[in-house]
Amino acid sequence: MSKQEISDYIRDAGFFKDLSKDQLAIITDISEIESYANSEVVFKEGEKSRDLFLIISGGVDLYKLSQHKYVFFTSLDTNNFIGEMAFVDGSPRSAKVISNNDTKLMKISYAFLEKNHPKLLNILMPKIARIIMERLRKSTSTHVQTIEKNLQQFKIQNEFGYFFIAIIMAFATSAFMNKILEHFNIYEPGYSTLLYSWAYLITVSAPFLALLCIFKYKLSTLGVTSKNLRVSLVESVIVGSIAILLLFGTFSVLGIEVDILGDVDYRENVSSTFFTLKLITYMIHSVLQEFVARGLLQHSIQRFLRDRRGIKSVLITSTLFGVGHLHITISVAAMTFAVSVLLGLLFLRHKNIWGISLVHFAMGVVGIVSGVI
């Protein structure tokens, strides 16, 4: 690159626009053009040199030494300076600079300016200082964003830890409640069974409901909302009806006899008052189950896994929900898993628990009166 080309370049560069022709001529005379191949080191962190470099073509990557290894933190391309901090205060190089392409740099010697052109040096210093301030301002903004991102990540990790403990506690509680069921032989239809089912749900759900208080989640984000309510109810009724028909169709194909009006023993042992009470409480039961399973658990797993589509979250939640019903029978657990997948997909679509709670209730009632559950 000739002196004339250097002169033309710096004349057009914004940084030098306030300099006189004589000052531009001095810069042209003292400048040297250095060429660097791709991945070649320009200077290392800690080196003592006050020369200033202007990137004419190509670009460079900057690395900081952290825990005995260099960590990339930014790239600079044409018309950017490197080495400006050492140029201003004489400190050692604050970063390692490596070319990321075939690169040409214009080097301005601090020592030569200080010795031969101190007035020009005094003019350049404030201009370089402004560049440093602009980069510090940008760096501060980036640093704040990084801190906020790290804090958010820490918060999510903290929540995940709590949820993991809650899942363990829920399964431990489930095992304990099942032992109580076996010990007191609470199997016959009646008020004791109804009370047990509520005690079971509340104790198993308690760890998750505690998280609701700890982290103060907005109920609307967990599906307790009127948003998409109409479409949620309509589509859930349609899908639920199809699912029930498919369920009985499957039983027919497999040769499983199902008494749609309920088995004789159940009708003889259960009064109409109790059955009505059970239906009412089961509706509330269904809403609470869907709030915990879909609103809290599935929503949180999707967030923890950054599961954009949500399919993995549906499968994981459905597996946990199915395992939670193993104390009834394996077939009930399998059916619960399948229904849970369906409800999970509906929740993904609507972000609303009311429609899926209705499906849960309807399928549960059908299962109870037909003797499947």
Domain boundary residue, one of 64, 81, 108? 108
The DSSP letter of residue 298 is I
Tokens encoding 135: 């980069």
Say if 238 falls within a structural domain: yes
**Res. 309: pLDDT tops 80:** yes
**Mean pLDDT over residues 159-164, rounded?**
88
pLDDT at 265: 47
Domain of residue 34, residue span? 3-108
**Helix 311-323 and helix 330-350, axial crossing angle in degrees, nearest 10:** 150
**Res. 158: pLDDT tops 90:** no
**Res. 332: pLDDT tops 60:** yes
* Whether residue 95 is found in the same domain as residue 222: no
**Res. 267: pLDDT tops 70:** no
Percent with pLDDT over 70 in the chain: 88
Say if 344 falls within a structural domain: yes
Report the sign of the C-alpha dihedral through residues 98, 104, 109, 113, in that order.
negative
Spatial distance between the Cα atoms of 202 and 183, rounded to a whole number of angstroms: 20
Say if 134 falls within a structural domain: no
Question: Which of 146-150, 171-175, 182-186, 190-194 has the highest average model confidence (pLDDT)?
Answer: 171-175
Domain boundary residue, one of 108, 129, 152? 108
Task: Find how far residue 59's CA is from the centre of its chain.
Answer: 33
Spatial distance between the Cα atoms of 74 and 92, rounded to a whole number of angstroms: 19
Of 98, 95, 94, 123, nearest in space to 108 by CA: 123
Domain boundary residue, one of 108, 133, 162? 108
Say if 118 falls within a structural domain: no
Task: Say if pTM beats, i.e. exceeds, 0.75.
Answer: no
Say if 88 falls within a structural domain: yes
Say if 124 falls within a structural domain: no
Say if 116 falls within a structural domain: no
CATH at 100: 2.60.120.10
* Whether residue 102 is found in the same domain as residue 223: no
Report the sign of the C-alpha dihedral through residues 340, 345, 347, 350, in that order.
negative
Say if 310 falls within a structural domain: yes
Among 87-91, 235-239, 325-329, the range scoring the smallest mean pLDDT is 325-329
* Whether residue 103 is found in the same domain as residue 221: no
Instruction: Give the number of domains in the chain.
Output: 2
pLDDT at 348: 93
